[in-house]
């Protein structure tokens, strides 16, 4: 059975030849992040993904997690605990954390690459350390000295894991409706009471202590989201006693069954305030923004594996003859990769996966630059790119990750629908990524309602300036003209939106297609960039000739596939809200 193999050439090509990630070693704090160092770490991560995580992925899906209502404890699938121990001992939890807390201080971009490999090989497993990284970011940014000294070193070392406790039975996106309470205690701590649902890793047997970051309301809190505070609530208190934060059961899910998704009951549990009172949403967004990019990487990782599986199947599966004459005259039939419709599905996967990887890693590169560059103006420009691209990376990569799994399954016919092949699990696992950490519709509203108006539209201006910089080096006139058309269509649509945005429903009606336009425009420029790079003298000889010519032909196919869609999306945005909002509730 064909399955996942780390796409080392594709990773290296995007990182070092397209994005020049070696430039990170010139930034303060990243001096060790040379190309040789990064490649060595990527090679070790590939071994972890292929040899440790991949072998337990299918069984983890079949077994799932189990809950004991007597002890209120959760057991993860066979092999997960041992795999987590390997992950911890390898220092993977500490990769991008700050050295002051025991981290390795390496670029966040490198962590994104490792995350892709982990998600490609075992998404359920990746959920456990993934939420811990968000907790680390949040405490690093907002925790006081006490919380940082007690909890950060253990989280960074992977000895403890973290959770993000937002959602309640009566509210999801509208967090202003939460009812979890935080009552001040004389010693400066708080008693936390309430129920949270859909809590990833809320209870599990991988570590001895789980650090919950919980949104709750103080007694005198203002109404709505302005009255939300954030609290750290450990499973085990510093004195070793058990805190009354218990799992009330597991969700019964479509996928990621090896990931424990818990109902958590806080019964006057002891907690500590993180950040300022009533400013919890700001603190939590530090965690959520990092998590949203990571969820995008989940979609990318699943799409990569689905592509590999379906490509291997298409090369081996013999059915019918090529319409242009036998390609396998010694056999009774030709491999199905000769058929145009199969190629249509495979090529769509290829241009999305490789283009989306470039877009995501570009965002990760700017994330590191925004934190570490010596020049304040450059830090601001990179922060603008990260702010704008975060909802785009999350939504587009998860939408297309699921779509790529669907294309892979379709190209495999009945075999893809069976559990003999891994694609059906990839589809089930990947469907949630379009929902959690803010549904993709919410990401589109974030783009239109928050990111585009920020700083008087500066984020969009920075984005287009970055694209122009990349296009300035493109010598292929066909690709240059295609990219110009993508940009022109997007800018024209933005101009229409700006003139109609006073009506909030008009803006919201066009948000989802507009987000997709941003993503496709970014991919268009990166495909021109990748095709241009593949012709450069310094890469010829580093990769197989077919690898490089494949980039050039794939770029041509990308424009064939998506140039017309841009016009359709623009028409969708400019159609406005009329038909969407015309029906009364009774008319549905």
> What DSSP letter does each residue of 19-80 carry, written as one string?
S-GGGGGGSTT-TT--HHHHHHHHHHHHHHIIIIIGGGHHHHHHH--EEETTTTEEEPPTTH
Q: Does the pLDDT of residue 42 top 80, yes or no?
A: yes
Cα 246 from Cα 70, distance rounded (Å): 11
Q: Which helix (H) or strand (E) holds 247?
A: strand 245-250
Return the pLDDT at 1. Answer: 46
Taking all residues of the chain, what is their mean pLDDT, rounded to a whole number? 96
Q: What is the pLDDT of residue 566?
A: 98
Q: Is residue 197 domain-shared with residue 121, that is, in the same domain?
A: no
Confidence of residue 487 (pLDDT cuts 50, 70, 90): very high
Residue 264 lies in a domain: yes
Is residue 136 located within the same domain as residue 268? Answer: no
Question: Does residue 2 surpass a pLDDT of 70?
Answer: no
The pLDDT tens digits for 367-405 are 999 999 999 999 999 999 999 999 999 999 999 999 999
Question: Which among 525, 496, 492 has a CA at the least distance from the CA of 389?
Answer: 525
C-alpha span between 125 and 110 (Å, rounded) = 19
Nearest C-alpha neighbor of 180 from the set 140, 216, 221: 216
- Residues 93, 184, single domain; the answer is no
Whether residue 494 is found in the same domain as residue 543: yes
**What mean pLDDT is predicted for residues 509-514?**
97
The model scores a pTM over 0.85 = yes
**152 and 260 housed in the same domain:** no
Catalytic residue status for 468: no
The fraction of the chain above a pLDDT of 90, given in percent, is 93
* Pairwise CA distance, residues 388 & 455, whole Å: 12
Q: How confident is the model at residue 225 (pLDDT cuts 50, 70, 90)?
A: confident
- Indicate if the pLDDT at residue 147 is higher than 50: yes
DSSP string, 249-309: EE---SS-TTS-EEEEEEEEEEEEEESSTT-HHHHHHHHHHHHHHHHHHHHHHHHHHHHHH
The tens digit of pLDDT for each residue in 417-474 reads: 999 999 999 999 999 999 999 999 999 999 999 999 999 999 999 999 999 999 999 9
Give the CA-trace dihedral at 373, 375, 381, 384, to 10 degrees.
60
**pLDDT category, 580, cuts 50, 70, 90?**
very high
Same structural domain for residues 546 and 452?
yes
The domain that holds 72 is classified in CATH as: 1.10.540.10
Whether 233 has a pLDDT exceeding 50, the answer reads yes
pLDDT(499) > 70: yes
Dist. CA 429–CA 427, nearest whole Å: 5
* Mean pLDDT calculated for residue range 464-489: 97
403 in any annotated domain: no
One of 223, 437, 466, 565 is an active-site residue; which one? 437
How crowded is residue 195: how many other Cβ atoms within 10 Å of its Cβ? 17
Helices first, then strands: H and E counts in the chain = 19, 9
**CB within 8 Å of 487: residues ≥ 6 apart:** 464, 467, 521, 525
Same domain, 128 and 205: no
- The answer to whether residue 308 sits within a structural domain is no
Q: Which of 220, 244, 278 is the last residue of a domain?
A: 278
From 132, 157, 182, the end of a domain falls on 157
In a domain, 257, yes or no: yes
* Same-domain check for residues 48 and 152: yes
Domain at 219, CATH number? 2.40.110.20
Q: Give the separation between CA 198 and CA 166, rounded to whole angstroms.
A: 9
Quick one: 167 and 227 in the same domain?
yes
The mean pLDDT value for 64-68 works out to: 98
Verify that 82 and 174 share a domain, yes or no: no
Q: Is residue 315 in a domain?
A: no
Is the confidence at residue 504, as pLDDT, over 60? Answer: yes
Domain assignment present for 347: no
Mean pLDDT of 38-54: 98
The predicted pLDDT at position 465 comes to 98
Last residue of a domain, one of 127, 157, 187: 157
Residue range 197-202: average pLDDT?
Answer: 97
In a domain, 312, yes or no: no
Q: Is pLDDT above 50 for 167?
A: yes
What is the domain range of residue 545? Answer: 444-576
Question: Cβ neighbours of residue 239 under 8 Å, at least 6 residues apart?
Answer: none
Same domain, yes or no, for 153 and 192? Answer: no
Distance separating alpha carbons of residues 400 and 362, to the nearest angstrom: 18
Round to whole Å and give the CA distance between 473 and 99: 38
Number of domains within the chain: 3
Residue 258 falls within a domain, yes or no? Answer: yes
Whether residue 153 sits in one domain with residue 186: no
pLDDT one-digit tens code per residue, 320-361: 999 998 888 888 999 999 999 999 999 999 999 999 999 999
């Amino acid at each position: 059975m064909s399955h996942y193999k780390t796409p080392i050439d594709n990773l290296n090509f995007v990182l070092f030849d397209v994005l020049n990630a070696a430039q990170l070693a010139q930034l303060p704090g990243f001096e060790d992040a040379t190309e040789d160092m990064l490649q060595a770490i990527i090679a070790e991560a590939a071994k972890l993904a292929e040899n440790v995580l991949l072998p337990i992925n299918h069984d983890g899906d079949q077994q799932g997690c189990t809950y004991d209502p007597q002890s209120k404890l959760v057991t993860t699938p066979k092999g997960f605990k041992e795999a987590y121990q390997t992950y911890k001992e390898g220092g993977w939890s500490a990769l991008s954390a700050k050295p002051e807390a025991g981290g390795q201080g390496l670029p966040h971009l490198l962590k994104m690459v490792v995350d892709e490999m982990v998600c490609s090989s075992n998404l359920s497993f990746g959920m456990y350390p993934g939420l811990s990284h968000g907790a680390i970011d949040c405490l690093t940014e907002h925790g006081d000295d006490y919380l940082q000294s007690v909890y950060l070193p253990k989280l960074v070392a992977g000895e403890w894991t973290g959770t993000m406790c937002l959602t309640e039975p009566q509210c999801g996106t509208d967090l202003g409706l939460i009812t979890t309470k935080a009552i001040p205690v004389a010693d400066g701590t708080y008693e936390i009471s309430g129920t949270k649902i859909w809590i990833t890793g809320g209870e599990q047997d991988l570590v001895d202590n789980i650090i919950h970051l919980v949104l709750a309301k103080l007694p005198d809190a203002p109404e709505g989201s302005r009255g939300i505070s954030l609290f750290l609530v450990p499973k085990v208190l510093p004195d070793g006693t058990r805190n009354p934060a218990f799992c009330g059961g597991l969700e019964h899910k479509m996928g990621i069954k090896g990931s424990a998704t818990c109902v958590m009951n806080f019964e006057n549990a002891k907690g500590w305030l993180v950040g300022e009172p009533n400013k919890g949403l700001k603190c939590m967004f530090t965690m959520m923004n990092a998590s949203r990019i990571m969820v995008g990487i989940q979609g990318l990782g699943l799409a990569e594996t689905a592509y590999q599986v379906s490509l291997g199947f298409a090369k081996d599966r013999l059915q019918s003859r090529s319409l242009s004459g036998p390609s396998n005259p010694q056999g009774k039939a030709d491999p199905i990769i000769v058929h145009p419709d199969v190629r249509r599905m495979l090529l769509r996967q290829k241009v999305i996966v490789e283009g989306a990887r470039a877009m995501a890693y570009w965002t990760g590169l700017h994330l590191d630059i925004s934190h570490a560059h010596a020049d304040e103006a450059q830090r601001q420009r990179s922060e603008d790119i990260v702010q704008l691209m975060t909802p785009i990376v999350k939504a587009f990569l998860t939408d297309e990750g699921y779509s790529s799994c669907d294309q892979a399954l379709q190209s495999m016919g009945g075999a893809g629908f069976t559990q003999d092949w891994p694609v059906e699990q990839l589809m089930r696992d990947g469907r949630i990524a379009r929902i959690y950490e803010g549904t993709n519709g919410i990401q589109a509203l974030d783009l239109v309602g928050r990111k585009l108006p920020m700083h008087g539209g500066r984020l969009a201006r920075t984005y287009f300036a970055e694209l122009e910089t990349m296009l300035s080096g493109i010598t292929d006139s066909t690709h240059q003209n295609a990219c110009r058309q993508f940009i022109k269509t997007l800018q024209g649509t933005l101009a229409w939106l700006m003139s109609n945005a006073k009506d909030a429903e008009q803006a919201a009606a066009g948000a989802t297609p507009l987000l997709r336009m941003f993503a496709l425009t970014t991919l268009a420029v990166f495909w021109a960039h990748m095709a241009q790079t593949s012709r450069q003298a310094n890469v010829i000889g580093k990769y197989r000739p077919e690898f490089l010519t494949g980039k050039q032909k794939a770029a041509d196919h990308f424009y064939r596939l998506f140039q017309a869609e841009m016009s359709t999306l623009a028409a969708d945005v400019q159609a406005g809200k009329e038909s969407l909002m015309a029906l009364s509730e009774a008319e549905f």
